[in-house]
Amino acid sequence: MITFLKRYSATAIGAGAVLAAVSVAGVYISKETVSSLLASTAQQRVGGFVTYLEETKGAVEALLTGISRDPELESEIRSVALASGLTNFTIFNLAGEPQFSLKSEDHAWLLRERPGGINGLEKLAVSAVERPGQWSEVVRSASGESLVISPLERAGTRQAFVSVAPDMSGVEENLAKTVGLAVAGLIGVLVTGAGVPGLIYIRRKWRIEQADERIQFLANHDTLTKLLNRKRIEEEAGRILATCRATRERLAVWAVDIKGLGDINQTVSQAGGDELLRTVADRLMRINDRNDLVARTGADDFMIVQRNLRGMNDVEALARRIQQEIEAPVTIEGIELTPQLCMGVALVPEHGRTIGELFQNAELAVLVHKSTKQGDFVLFEPSMDEEATRRRMIERRMREALEHEQFELFYQPIVRASDQTILGFESLIRLPDGKGGYIPPSVFIPIAEARGYIKAIGDWVLREATRQIALWPEELFISVNLSAVQFRDGDLVSIVRNALEAAGIAGRRLEIEVVESLLLDRSDTILEQLQQLKTLGVSIAMDDFGTGYSSLGYLWRFPFDKLKIDQSFMIAFEQGEPNIRHIIGTIVSLGHHMNLKVVTEGIETPAQAKMLMEIGCDQLQGYLFGKPAPAERVAAELLTSLSKRAVVSDASTTSIPVGEPIASLA
């Protein structure tokens, strides 16, 4: 052995030296390789997210305030960051000051003096802020976490800076272990050092590419339905529109709205509502041509860009296909649902030269379809733009009235048919137009329902009506109309109870009016709330009886106290319609057999009042007895009426009868 060593000592020493050199070189190279791979991996992982922030309109602006101005966009950005495997990111303004962080944590660990322009003043160093061009720097935080710092630019203009922390957990350890094993031998170093890190790099790169693809998908698609989102369909449609001017291709832009999605979510669960949206999306994709664009643009809104249009026949054909396919029943959570749609259409080039105009005009058309409920769809007309301006003005006025309690209630008397004694009043809402007049309820109520203000308005009416009736004689009641929306959230009973308690009146002084159409959907939920209202002593009246479905099943199933015959019967009576007296008499008889009081609306002539009294109608309401008037005027007339009776009443009388007709209100 000694001889062997002596003979080959030089070789052994040389081999040892080479091995040592290779080992040292291998260790050095492995460290450098690991650092380089880590930096490259971090930059590539972050690159897609930085590009997303730069290219997504409003993304940087939404975060620069420190508090997002666009919660929906911030939520999308957070989803993209998490899908990219990022643990945190921070947005800095052009002065290098931190403005927004994905995690609400102290930035101190991020902002110590490190290479790449970070100092301890809780802002980016001047060297980083003033560094020109597009650059990206990988640094280590005090905790050893990899950070990638880069400016954000759009159209060559710098907007902000971003510091991103990609999820690099386990990457460095895995690389170091793999490369370390390679140093055990020269062949291992040559093969493993070149091959394994390369394979790892390729695998990491593939995963990064997969994450980038996911980022691109999230940036351009609706996550629930997998359809295009609004941003993407606007971009794609814009490119198509640009070529249409040369090719003369005609397009139709569709706005499609699912009616009553909120009620559907109440009927089933939120997950059931999501399943319905996915079903609608799948059906839309199935019936549209593969060249058409389909997107989900809102909670219950979809947009379609129909290409290669030959004429209105193609539009009408697609409308029929959409209705037949989408409105087919679907069973969700054991409940059969039938989606109902509203559709508006704008044509190219007739209705707009830009995608923004076309989308806006299609959405105006769908609003008209919602309000008119006529036809399969509504085609945009220029007058709708004027109508939209008017609706926006009314909506703005409604918001102001709600914020400052500027709505007003008018009161119309309800009298006993036999002697025209005033029994109570129906409260009727009025919206001042700010110019000394009023916007009719028939105009602003549909807008309030479409824009989601009707519940707040209805709650205010309940509070104000009960407050007002508390100031008037105990014998009088107040009648309030309710909308379907007030029943939807299930809190109506508590709202009514609170209004009664605040006014200090008994439930018997409040009468609730509901229309027949309210009872068609979710009748079990409505029934339960009406029964709870009855326990408060509140009376329930079916309003406009005879104009809707008039199912007798509603009369015995729901706890009604009163029927209100619609004023259209009085119009028919004045026009001499045959058998109208007998029809009204039959309704009165039916109500009495079911122990219901019967009221007729729209009384304008003594002949009408005489006829109704003869057939046994209990109560009357109409201009003959008083037009709707503000509370001050009603109170003055009541006081005058009571004063006249007090003069002629016996001194020992303990109460003053209320019930003289308010003739001057007519």
> Cα separation of 390 and 383, whole Å?
11
One domain, residues 213 and 300: no
Does the residue 372 lie in any domain? yes
Nearest to 129 by CA among 91, 94, 89: 94
In 3-state terms the chain splits into helix, strand, coil percentages (rounded to 5) of: 50, 20, 30
pLDDT at 447 (0 to 100) = 87
Return the CATH number at 192: 3.30.450.20
CATH at residue 519: 3.20.20.450
Q: Residue 111, Cβ neighbours under 10 Å: how many? A: 23
| Global confidence as pTM | 0.51
Range of the structural domain that residue 51 is part of? 2-220
Give the three-class secondary structure for 102.
Answer: coil
Position 650 in a domain = no
Residue 102 and residue 125 in one domain: yes
Instruction: Provide the domain count of the chain.
Output: 3
Q: What is the pLDDT of residues 302-348, one digit of tens each?
A: 999 999 988 899 999 999 999 999 888 888 888 888 888 899 999 98
* 223-256 pLDDT per residue, tens: 899 999 999 999 999 999 988 878 888 999 999 9
Which residues have a Cβ under 8 Å from the Cβ of 112 and sit 6 or more positions away?
A: 118, 119, 120, 141, 142
d(CA 592, CA 586) in angstroms, rounded, equals 10
Asked if 438 and 332 sit in the same domain, the reply is no
> Is 261 found in the same domain as 192?
no
Is residue 149 within a helix (H) or strand (E), and if so which, with residue range? strand 146-154
In this structure, the answer to whether residues 371 and 436 fall within a common structural domain is no
- Would residue 389 count as lying in a domain? no
Using one digit for the tens of pLDDT, what is the confidence trace for 277-304? 999 999 999 988 888 999 998 888 999 9
Domain assignment present for residue 652? The answer is no
Domain boundary at 220, 245, 269, which? 220
- Burial of 365-392, coded b for 16+ CB within 10 Å and e otherwise, reads bbbbbbeeeeeebbbbeeebeeebeebe
pLDDT, tens digit (0-9, with 9 covering 90-100), for 115-165: 333 344 367 888 888 888 888 888 877 777 778 888 988 888 898 998 888
In this structure, the answer to whether residues 211 and 234 fall within a common structural domain is no
